[in-house]
Structure 1
Amino acid sequence: MTSYAVVPFVTWLVAGSLKFFVNSIRARRLAFGLIGYGGLPSNHSAIVTSMAALIAFREGVNTPAFGVAVTLAFIVLLDANSLRRQVGKHAAAINRINAANGIDSGLRERMGHTRVEILAGIAVGVCVAYMFR
């Protein structure tokens, strides 16, 4: 039986590889410079979903562990869509203000995820958990 610690790690590898592949296609070059926060699929969403789904597959949904995993997943998903996107908007505004004043702040503007990116992360997490059930 695979350890519960292995599935999130494998999910991170799968989601990160998919994100690199998608970013490379969009950029029409190897996208090493585009690795980081944001993009499709959401790594964070994939990782927390993989654990919640694995617990659901192995132990069922009427367990305390599943409740904790779902709660954590909701917090991460909300953060990915709202808080981090707002941080990215603030970074963009600060970069514009600094550029107008001749300052290169270089703050990362792509921080959060769209709903599609989050849904793709959820799909990756469920698929990887299903493979390890």
Structure 2
Amino acid sequence: MNQLRWFFEPLIGWNPPLAPALLAMMTAQAFKFLRTLLRRNRPDFTRLIGTGGMPSAHSASVTALSTAVGIGHGWNTPLFGVAAFFSLVIMYDATGIRRAAGRQARLLNRLVAELQEHHTLDFEKLGELLGHTPLEVLVGAVYGALLAFLLHP
């Protein structure tokens, strides 16, 4: 634990709430890249910046941010309330609106693929992996909170 803190101390000292949030987002994206690499035996570099998948990088980062604010400024402060509220909005959006948009994109891509069998269409395939399942959001949130607790000075 002390070796981990020593390694991240310069980053954390810079801004205790922001640093774990950025680190949570970057490492969650790296987990998605590695998971895809292991499953498909080839790299997919879009997983380093793309949305969707396990774990939710958005949930990890906003939960790390909220947790770090709670640890540093108090759990009953207005600042923690604001951070927690926006974290909940982002996680709700990831499982609701963005997930629904991904489902619609998948359906549109299928419809256009069927139409292209009989017609000439100029269509750019829509991104389908936009949102998250509740489990992906939960795992991201737990990861973000743990990271904030481990790294907070």
Q: TM-score, normalised by structure 2?
A: 0.80
Mean CA deviation greater in 33-42 or 72-81: 33-42
For residues 34-60 of structure 1, the C-alpha deviation after alignment (integer angstroms, 9 at most, x for no partner) is: 441111110100111011110112222
The separation in 2 between residues aligned to 1:59 and 1:121, in whole angstroms, is: 23
Structure 1 residue ranges, 4+ long, deviating more than 6 angstroms after superposition: none
Q: 2-side partners of 1:34 and 1:45: how far apart?
A: 16
Question: For residue 64 of structure 2, what is the amino acid of its counterpart?
Answer: S
Task: State the Cα deviation string for residues 63-118 of structure 1 (Å, max 9, x = none).
Answer: 01110011001100000001001101111111112111114431011111011111
RMSD across aligned C-alpha pairs, in angstroms?
Answer: 1.5
Residue aligning to 1:7: 20
What amino acid is the match of 2:22? F
- Which residue does 1:92 correspond to in 2? 106
Residue in 1 aligned with 2:8?
A: none
Consecutive unaligned residues in structure 1, runs of 5 or more: none
Residue number in structure 1 paired with 2:72? 58
Q: Normalization by structure 1: what TM-score? A: 0.91
The answer as to whether partners of 2:29 and 2:47 remain within 8 angstroms in 1 is no
Task: Look up the match of 1:19.
Answer: 32
Matches within 5 A, 1:1-133: 1-3=13-15, 4-35=17-48, 36-102=50-116, 103=121, 104-133=123-152
2:7 corresponds to = none
Greater Cα radius of gyration, structure 1 or 2: 2
* Corresponding pairs, count: 133
Percent of pairs with identical residues:
32
